[in-house]
Amino acid sequence: MMLIAAGWIGILLLAGGFALDRTLTRMVENNFDDQLEYLLNAMLVVAEIGPDGEVYFNRPIGEPRFLEPNSGLYYQISADGREGYSSYSLEPALSRSLWDSPLELRGDHFDNEPHFYDSGQIDNEPLRIVERSVILPDSDARWTFAVASARGELDAQLARIRSILVWSFAILALGLMMMAMLQTWYGLSPLRRVRAAIQHMRSKGTNRITDPLPLEVQPLVEELNGILAHSQRQAEEARTHAGNLAHALKTPLTVLTNAATANSPDLGAAVIRETRTMQRHVDHHLARARAVGRRAVGLASTPVCESAEAVRRAVERLYPEGRFDIAGNRQARVGIERQDLDEILGNLIENAAKYGGGSVFVTVDAEPASEDCVIWVEDDGAGIPPDERTRIFDRGARLDTGKPGTGLGLAIVRDVAEIYGGSVVLDESEDLGGLMVILTLPRGPAPDDADTGDD
């Protein structure tokens, strides 16, 4: 930031200084030329043709430097390129300041406009010349009036102006660069305070930045605190799941240990039964761990109907005699990963086909006005009594033990849905008369145009 500021300050000051130098130089030169043109016009006003056809001044011009030799101010009047002289009693056509050295005029034009140019005919004394060609009354000759002045004073003024500009802009550049450096240093000081606050937080062993910080970095501090809180929640969830899994595996392991120690005759059956129990607990906690890990990756967006159709095709192979209908908003999307949505819908649709009467009806986005996406999964089975609808979500809970299953399907559905901020509720289906599962999931963002296309 400091280097960029210094670069831009240098470029802008150089451009501004060059433009100001050109402007002031032009103004000083124009003022110098105006003075020369004023003297030229004064000569033209008093110039007349004498009896012998020569130019003379009917009154003195009033500029004493024309009378002082080598004064730096000169004039010359010539006709057709030849120097002419007036009568003996009046001022000569060559100013006395020129002595006997005429000016070297260009003489390459003839018009009524004055022409300005520089000349170096006098050593160590550059000249600025203005000339104008005129035809005086009572004369057919072309007369050229010229006034010359030494550029020494003009060049000295320009040198003083450039010196003032250089020093002024150098001091200005130094001041602006110092101000930019101080501003950058002061502007970034809140970030240094954030770094110190993070170091302080680590030394204290806290999980939040509590040091008072400026308002400019408060949003950054809030985001950092949010990330820290999220990491802490994930760590707590991991510890909780590890503890739950250890507690769930403790009882089956104790049973197996006791059976093996006592040489129980049904040891084989006990091993099969308890290992299945442990497998259910492991599957349940692995499903939760996968959902938590995928949730931390970022905001997902999954089309509901695509997932439902894929699950329907898989369940139809297991229950070919069943009837499956999927209706609703084909464009609905939810903000969870595709694998987790497949697992949720797979458990719900498979349970509906297993425990229902053969008909399964899935309605996508059943409540379009809702902020979340609501999905209904209905069947025509016996349903679940209202007093059992809460207990059925417990791990291993089963109402119909005559059919194979682990009793973890609805528990996994509830846990994964809650991880993503959703919910699942059981109710009675008005159309089919069986169970209706009301699944609520957060809506997902619409995909970018580049990602859309025909399936």
Question: Mean pLDDT across the chain, nearest whole number?
Answer: 81
Do residues 131 and 144 touch, judged by C-beta distance below 8 A? yes
Out of 125, 141, 158, a domain closes at 158
> Between 36 and 453, where is the model more confident?
36
Residues 436 and 305 placed together within one structural domain of the fold:
yes
- 3-state SS of the chain? CHHHHHHHHHHHHHHHHHHHHHHHHHHHHHHHHHHHHHHHHHHHHHEEECCCCCEEECCCCCCHHHCCCCCCEEEEEEECCEECCCCCCCCCCECHHHCCCCCCCCCCCCCCCCEEEEECCCCCCCEEEEEEEECCCCCCCCEEEEEEEECHHHHHHHHHHHHHHHHHHHHHHHHHHHHHHHHHHHHCHHHHHHHHHHHHHHHHCCCCCCCCCCHHHHHHHHHHHHHHHHHHHHHHHHHHHHHHHHHHHHHHHHHHHHHHHCCCCCHHHHHHHHHHHHHHHHHHHHHHHHHHHHHCCCCCCEEHHHHHHHHHHHHHHHCCCCEEEEEECCCCEECCCHHHHHHHHHHHHHHHHHHCCCEEEEEECCCCCCCCEEEEEEECCCCCCHHHCCHHHCCCCCCCCCCCCCCCHHHHHHHHHHHCCCEEEEEECCCCCCEEEEEEECECCCCCHHHCCCC
Domain-embedded: residue 231: yes
Residues 123 and 232 placed together within one structural domain of the fold:
no
Domain-embedded: residue 234: yes
Domain-embedded: residue 126: yes
> In this structure, what CATH number is given to the domain that contains residue 121?
3.30.450
Domain-embedded: residue 172: no
Per residue in 224-270, pLDDT (tens digit) is 888 888 788 777 777 766 766 676 677 778 878 887 887 778 778 87
Residues 237 and 311 placed together within one structural domain of the fold:
no
Residues 110 and 83 placed together within one structural domain of the fold:
yes
Out of 93, 123, 158, a domain closes at 158
Per residue in 313-366, pLDDT (tens digit) is 988 888 888 899 999 999 999 988 888 888 889 889 988 888 888 899 999 998
Domain-embedded: residue 180: no
Does 143 score more than 50 pLDDT?
Answer: yes
What is the mean predicted confidence (pLDDT) over 187-201? 83
What residues contact 231, with CB distance under 8 A and at least 6 apart?
A: none
> In this structure, what CATH number is given to the domain that contains residue 425?
3.30.565.10
Residues 444 and 312 placed together within one structural domain of the fold:
yes
Question: How far apart are alpha carbons 343 and 432 in whole angstroms?
Answer: 24
Residues 289 and 332 placed together within one structural domain of the fold:
no
What residues contact 453, with CB distance under 8 A and at least 6 apart?
A: none
> Between 26 and 247, where is the model more confident?
26
The pLDDT, as a whole number, for residue 437 is 92
The pLDDT, as a whole number, for residue 292 is 62
Residues 29 and 80 placed together within one structural domain of the fold:
yes
Task: Look up the domain containing 141 and give its range.
Answer: 2-158
Domain-embedded: residue 204: no
Residues 125 and 96 placed together within one structural domain of the fold:
yes
Q: Which of 45, 53, 264, 198 is closest to 140 using CA atoms?
A: 53
Does 84 score more than 50 pLDDT?
Answer: no
Residues 255 and 309 placed together within one structural domain of the fold:
no
Residues 287 and 313 placed together within one structural domain of the fold:
no
Q: How confident is the model at residue 108 (pLDDT cuts 50, 70, 90)?
A: low
Do residues 121 and 127 touch, judged by C-beta distance below 8 A? yes
Using CB atoms within 10 Å of the CB of residue 265, give its burial: 0 to 12 exposed, 13 to 18 middle, 19+ buried: exposed
Residues 117 and 261 placed together within one structural domain of the fold:
no
Q: At what angle do helices 409-419 and 267-295 cross, to 10 degrees?
A: 20
How many structural domains comprise the chain? 3
Out of 270, 293, 316, a domain closes at 293
What is the mean predicted confidence (pLDDT) over 192-203? 82
Q: How confident is the model at residue 409 (pLDDT cuts 50, 70, 90)?
A: low
Q: How confident is the model at residue 149 (pLDDT cuts 50, 70, 90)?
A: very high
Residues 289 and 312 placed together within one structural domain of the fold:
no
Question: How far apart are alpha carbons 318 and 226 in whole angstroms?
Answer: 45
The pLDDT, as a whole number, for residue 325 is 92
Domain-embedded: residue 163: no
Domain-embedded: residue 209: no
Whether the predicted model's global pTM rises above the 0.75 cut: no
Point out the least confidently predicted range of 91-100, 218-227, 228-237.
91-100
